[in-house]
Amino acid sequence: MQFSTVLVTFFAGLIAASPIIEERAFVCSNGLDTPQCCSLSVDGVAGLECEAPSPSPMTATSFTSICAASGKEAQCCTAVLDGVGVDCNSP
């Protein structure tokens, strides 16, 4: 009986997390990149002074607007290391 409770809780957690994955995939086209607001983009190779957008964007348009409000450019980066985005592209 306890096993079924754990199993139901596990699947409920997966279902609750799925909108986050869909949201991210919608903002960055390939679904693997991380949305970031960067001060400077260097030819799609790197983004400098990057940070996660706040609040979390729901669409690519809102992503661009959120970053622009802070004077930064919306970028979808493969990885982010200490504020530097790697392999960044526009959404």
Domains of the chain: 2-89 (3.20.120.10)
38-91, pLDDT tens digit by residue?
A: 998 888 788 899 999 999 998 889 999 999 999 999 999 999 999 999 999 888
Q: How far apart are CA 57 and CA 90, in angstroms?
A: 14
Beta carbons of 50 and 83 less than 8 angstroms apart: yes
Predicted pLDDT at 42: 83
Higher pLDDT, 12 or 83: 83
pLDDT category of residue 1 using cuts at 50, 70 and 90:
low
Average pLDDT over residues 11-23: 47
Give the predicted TM-score (pTM) of the model.
0.68
What is the torsional sign of CA 63, 64, 69, 70? positive
